[in-house]
Amino acid sequence: MNILNLGGGGFIGSHLTKRLLDEGHSVTVVDLWTDKVEEFLDHPRLTFVQQDIRSPQFHIDPFVEAADLVIDLIAYANPGLYLRIPIEVFRLNFQENLKIAEACVHHKKRLIQFSTCEVYGRTAATLKHARLADPEDPIHATFSEDESEFILGPVNRHRWIYACSKQLLERVLHAYGLEAGFNYTIVRPFNFIGPKIDFLQSEQEGIPRVFSFFMDALINGTTMKLVDGGEQRRCYTYIDDAIEGTYAIVENPGGVCDRQIFNLGSPYNEISIRQLAETMREIYAEQFRDPAIPLPNIVSVPGETFYGKGYDDSNRRIPDITKARTLLGWEPVWPVRKMLEATMSYYVHEYPRTKPVAVAY
């Protein structure tokens, strides 16, 4: 196939681009940055278009028309940006992505749209009058694609503008499917982690995702900061597992992915952010530590101090992957410690220290 991979130079995108090329596809990547795909920029079946899709000079239609399949990974996916530039987060995550979707509708092209598990928001246990018999029962934090309710914070907690933008885009795709027969598949990633995930805090201005923030602290001996004590729980998914699931969606055997939403995540890998910090520090001390650099302290900081006014968060997210198991035969296999060891090894031994930040994808 000729595949248009928008945002194909980012963390998820670069791993997916490699897999698509390895499988024999021709891939056109549109991205702002080349640093994560430099090793295969000269591949004969790769066309790299270094462009910002928001540019008035960029027109998406001819790229969509020439493709057999469109994959859209373009997003601001960083909580620090949701608070600092919420309008631009909305514009990119909804308005610009809607232009891509409507081009696919117009040209009758299948679209794989990456969304986010953040659309699920908080759990019922956070509601003031929930009165749950056992708030810790995982059933209250396990989210399924077609049945779970969305519980988001109030408008003045504008951290939720990202989740709202993604949720609105999902609803519009669903509506186009109903009214125009549009063929789409929505992917909701659950905390993918792996080599190339992010930049390191000490190299660039801004706040990276939690793994990279902790990794930077370990390498440089600075403080590992836990937002609001690090009690939030997440299910981490290794990028290799994520790409296996995504490629199964690309193949779409028998059309089982048509107009479907898939959680891609590992329900076995639930861990609190505090446990993540402690596990990473333990692994680093055992395998990677430079004796000249002290191990960092782990401290708690208020969310609004770390991110800014308007911060809020999901307390717990566990993916129900029944649909991916049943329709795709997909099962994640990487446990937390193994994926942390592999990802940390990359940042210790292979990570290029002078590359620019791919802030948008």
Report the alpha-carbon distance of residue 311 to residue 166 in Å, rounded.
18
| 227, β-bridge pairs | 301
**Contact by Cβ (8 Å): 350, 195:** yes
Q: Which of 147, 150, 157 is nearest to 122 (CA)?
A: 150
DSSP conformation letters of 75-95: ----HHHHHH-HHHHHIIIII
**Contact by Cβ (8 Å): 300, 226:** yes
Pairing assessment for the beta strands 270-272 and 233-235 based on DSSP bridges? antiparallel
Return the residue matching tokens 């650099």.
Answer: 293
* Tokens (6 digits) for 259: 């107009």
Report the alpha-carbon distance of residue 272 to residue 336 in Å, rounded.
11
Report the alpha-carbon distance of residue 86 to residue 132 in Å, rounded.
34
**Contact by Cβ (8 Å): 99, 60:** yes
Q: Give me the catalytic one of 76, 82, 120, 162.
A: 162
Report the alpha-carbon distance of residue 351 to residue 330 in Å, rounded.
30
How distant, in Å, are the alpha carbons of 62, 226, 300 from that of 187? 25, 29, 33
Active site residue 120: no
The residues that are catalytic are 162
